[in-house]
Amino acid sequence: MRRTLVVVFFSLLHLAARGQEHYLDLVGPLPTLPRQPLAVAQVLDGRAREVPIGLVYRGASNRASAVLFRHDLATDLTSFLQAQLPAAAGRHPVVLCVRQLRVGEVPGGRAEKAIADLTLDVYTHLPDGYHFVRTTGASTSGRPVAAPGSHSARLVLLLAECLTQLDAADWPAAATRPALALGQLRGDAPPPLAAGGPRGPGPAILRQAPRRGIYYRFEQFLANEPDTGLTFHLDTLKPAKRLPPLAKLQWAGVARVRPLVPAGAGQWQVPPGAWGFCDGRQLFVQHHQQFFPLHRQGSFFTFVGEAPLDLEYARALAEAQVRAQSSLVARVAVPDRTAEPLAYALDMHSGGRAPLADLPARPRADTAYVYIYRPATTITPERVPVYVDGHEVGTLRPGEYLELPWPASAKPCQLCLGGLRTATPCQYLVPNPARQSYLKVDLAATPGPWQWVPPAQAEADLDALDQRHP
């Protein structure tokens, strides 16, 4: 993965050297930042890797252009924000550490889509050092605008949304957190404020059984207070035809669902503005207009969603299109990894989503364990093969369970059942190395046979199965 990103980075530099670049110019007519009692002293590039920002596409040949800053991320954002939010009496002096930034376009024939994601860690500068305040995050997607500066404007709007989230910041509490030196901020990994401990018992979603309903805001999710007044049902989606071949193969057999609410005249629609939902057992989060199941990892949640645009493939495709103007055939020598299953983490400060592999490393166990079991009351079929990443690891008969070890990493685990007459026999998850994960196989369940079971209930179920086979 790291080698691929390095190749992509130098490939984008190569595009820039050939004049194929799109600069984020934070000058001229841009959206105005909201009035905030803040003074931005500095912006740091705290991304886990020096990854490219993105690509845009121009001209009749859909030529790829690398998205760049005129100088660099830290320099240009610092200049812009210092001009917008200068030091003044009564303002909190802050340092912003960028953890994630993507600005660009996803090609799609006549329907290119502009995307932008931003995640910031905010630190306040006090006499004894820098104290973590909170993480803020924002994202957007939609049709790109051809007007010059449209991507720069999107970035400013994300900055505005992130800074507005500081309206709820607890500045006195921040002053009690450990002080850090400026040089420590890039490598800092702030613990989730929602985790509980000395700061409190943690949010309700970590302490209570999730309630059925629609979440429209991240704060509703934390408080376990969905909108329960809407009637909704789950709609199982057909496999997306738009997926690249590799991704289509990897997602085959995995259920995709969405909530539908009444829209009048006998029609149904996805709830406008839905952040996520709960079907009464399983939590789901919306990520780029699709819903994916959330799995708890101690004090935060993960999900397996689609990987972003493969920049290396996009670069190779753009160059092939240029070659095709002078020859009838132009091969693309690299595979397209766009939309393949990728592990994401849900930021418990802001509700932002970021690839799990991009998060700062945390101490964790070497191996995670997943237990899969079938109730003893199940009758047919007699034997169900179980596959992990395409390899058979055992079989399940009624009243049996399997213990599956999994290396603790950011790689998603694919579980599948064989010999079933169902279109959705598979499931992706990121096993939790901090505690066991439990799944019950219910062949009659919809939209698929996999059911997540709380640890206490699962342990009781497994104890009962053990007593049947002393």
Per CATH, the architecture of 2-188 is what? 3-Layer(aba) Sandwich (3.40)
Residue 24 CA from chain centroid, whole number: 24
Decide if pLDDT at 8 tops 70: no
DSSP strand pairing (92-106 vs 38-45): parallel
pLDDT of residue 97: 95
pLDDT of residue 102: 83
Q: 202 is written with which tokens?
A: 């943690």
pLDDT of residue 61: 58
CB 98 within 8 A of CB 49: no
Tens digits of residue pLDDT in 220-263: 999 999 999 989 999 998 777 778 889 999 999 999 999 999 98
Banded pLDDT at 200 (limits 50, 70, 90): very low
Instruction: For residue 318, give the H/E element and its range.
Output: helix 311-324
Kindly state the percentage of the chain with pLDDT values over 70.
82
Listed residue (291, 303, 292, 284) closest to 412, CA to CA? 303
DSSP strand pairing (353-355 vs 341-346): antiparallel
Decide if pLDDT at 120 tops 60: yes
Q: 90 is written with which tokens?
A: 């009564």
Listed residue (332, 321, 308) closest to 20, CA to CA? 321
Banded pLDDT at 10 (limits 50, 70, 90): very low
Tell me if residue 68 falls in helix, strand or coil: strand
Tell me if residue 217 falls in helix, strand or coil: coil
Tens digits of residue pLDDT in 377-436: 866 778 899 999 999 999 999 999 999 999 877 889 999 999 887 788 999 999 888 788
Q: What is the mean pLDDT of residues 283-295?
A: 92
Phi/psi at 382 (5° precision): -65, -40
CB 80 within 8 A of CB 36: no
With 0-12 / 13-18 / 19 or more C-beta atoms within 10 angstroms meaning exposed / middle / buried, residue 265 is exposed
Whole-Å CA distances, 338 to 40, 360, 371: 36, 23, 31
CB 387 within 8 A of CB 350: no
Q: How far apart are CA 425 and CA 443, in angstroms?
A: 9
Q: What is the mean pLDDT of residues 41-48?
A: 89
Whole-Å CA distances, 431 to 16, 84, 110, 295, 386: 40, 44, 39, 9, 16
Q: How far apart are CA 396 and CA 309, in angstroms?
A: 38
Bond into 447 cis (ω within 30): yes
Q: How far apart are CA 103 and CA 24, in angstroms?
A: 9
DSSP summary character for residue 272: T
Tens digits of residue pLDDT in 244-256: 889 999 999 999 9
Mean pLDDT, the chain, whole residue set: 82
- Intrachain domains 2-188 and 367-468 with the same fold: no
pLDDT of residue 194: 46
pLDDT of residue 17: 38
pLDDT of residue 82: 92
Find the range with the poorest average confidence among 210-219, 243-252, 321-330, 421-430: 321-330
Q: Which residues pair with 403 in a beta bridge?
A: 371
pLDDT of residue 461: 92
Residue partners of 243: CB distance under 8 A and separation at least 6: 251, 339
Instruction: For residue 136, give the H/E element and its range.
Output: strand 129-142
Whole-Å CA distances, 412 to 47, 284, 427, 431: 22, 17, 10, 8
Q: How far apart are CA 280 and CA 266, in angstroms?
A: 24
Q: How far apart are CA 165 and CA 47, in angstroms?
A: 20
Boundaries of every domain in the chain:
2-188, 204-360, 367-468
Give the count of beta carbons closer than 10 Å to the beta carbon of residue 27. 12
Q: How far apart are CA 363 and CA 177, in angstroms?
A: 21
Q: 332 is written with which tokens?
A: 């693309």
DSSP strand pairing (283-287 vs 290-293): antiparallel
Comparing 32 with 134, the larger pLDDT belongs to 134
CA atoms within 13 A on the CB side of 68: 19
Give the count of beta carbons closer than 10 Å to the beta carbon of residue 306. 19
Per CATH, the architecture of 367-468 is what? Sandwich (2.60)
